[in-house]
Amino acid sequence: MNNTLPLNGLPVTPLALHGLTDSTRAAAEAFIAAGTAANTVRSYRSALAYWAAWLQLRYARALGDGPLPVEVAVQFIVDHLARPGSDGIWSQLLPAPLDMALVAAGVKGKLGALAFNTVSHRLAVLAKWHRLNTWDSPCDAPAVKTLLREARKAQARQGVALRKKTAIVLEPLQAMLATCNDGVRGLRDRALLLLAWSGGGRRRSEVIGLQVEDLRRLDGDTWLYALGATKTDTGGVRREKPLRGPAAQALNVWLAAAPARSGPLFRRLYKGGRVGTAGLSGDQVARIVKRRAELAGLDGDWAAHSLRSGFVTEAGRQGVPLGEVMAMTEHRSVTTVMGYFQAGALLESRASRLYGEPPPSQTLSDKPEVEAG
């Protein structure tokens, strides 16, 4: 039976009421990919490549053959998270030959257990993969959630802390800016560091996404720059953030050295200080932060995120209201931002200086005499 229907003289085949055609599924996946930040897409691909390799080695099964059972997610956790044995030696369940094969395949950087955050991320990617395929995710099972929660607590009790990048508070920032005296490169790096930090702790994806057209000058000491779609605000509505004082002045100097009417705000440099037309990548922003920290002789684990966490931490130190901080950073979760904010606030709290500092009302003559002997 021919189900083709004529429409304006053209044959049209009606779609099935249940299920998606391959073309519809591909179009939907294209929309999802286009709406996802490039760094996120890369991390998804990396995680799925690891899942594919691990599944093939562990179960002789291809990723995409169908939904994975809960037991596979449980096995993944115990294969990759280290735990202490009765002898105190930490180990993982993944057989050594499989571990070596994963490293040899290039999907694993080195032998040994994975960090808790890495395992959590790969489980989250697996869950998203199942949702895209309209499958039930094994990661939603209570057994998996309970195991992951207990594993995290077990590692914490054994002193395995989740690593966080070192926050760039005011003093490290000043030290890094002091190294920006190397010509055009220094002018660019100074403007980038100050915009990313003073402008609200911008993510590296937001920094590299800024275009010259996104700037609006109010006066010689104030700029507004517009954000479009970001990690937490995907609506695409342009939202302007202020850039004032030294940050605005550094931007003035950079734009004078590298004038442009359009295109990426921060661009690549070539030999002789020549400014190119291509914008920086996210990795290059991270390398700028690390290079300036190294030139300044700063110890720590520095990354692009250090600018964002440093802005929030320093705001806590200086007593800026949390609401104002979140209006600049555009954090959606109070829980996410509070860890950095509270750490900064405690640095300036009298509660952290109880020993060695007399109360403000107590003078030297008021102090009780200490009996000798």
* 347-369: pLDDT as tens digits: 777 777 777 665 555 444 454 44
What is the spatial distance between Cα 350 and Cα 352, in angstroms, rounded to a whole number? Answer: 5
Place of tokens 């640095």: 347
Confidence (pLDDT) at 90: 67
Helical H segments across the chain, by residue range = 22-34, 38-59, 70-80, 96-104, 116-132, 142-157, 170-177, 183-198, 204-209, 245-257, 282-295, 305-317, 322-329, 334-347
DSSP bridge pairs for 163:
none
What is the spatial distance between Cα 208 and Cα 264, in angstroms, rounded to a whole number? Answer: 7
Nearest partner of 195 among 184, 187, 207, judged by Cα: 207
Confidence (pLDDT) at 370: 46
Confidence (pLDDT) at 160: 54
Confidence (pLDDT) at 220: 80
Tokens at residue 132, please?
Answer: 């895209």
Cα–Cα separations (whole angstroms), residue 291 to 14, 120, 169, 179, 237 = 59, 30, 17, 10, 34
Look at residue 107 and give its three-state secondary structure. Answer: coil
Confidence (pLDDT) at 363: 47
Confidence (pLDDT) at 151: 85
Tokens at residue 256, please?
Answer: 């004078």
Radius of gyration of the chain (CA): 27
Low-confidence ranges of the chain (pLDDT < 50): 4-8, 12-20, 229-234, 362-365, 367-373
* 153-185: pLDDT as tens digits: 877 776 555 557 889 999 999 999 999 999 999
Query: In order of start, what are the domains of the chain with their CATH numbers?
Result: 35-157 (1.10.150.130), 170-352 (1.10.443.10)
What is the spatial distance between Cα 292 and Cα 180, in angstroms, rounded to a whole number? Answer: 8
Confidence (pLDDT) at 350: 75
**Sequence-separated (6 or more) residues with CB below 8 Å from residue 45:** none
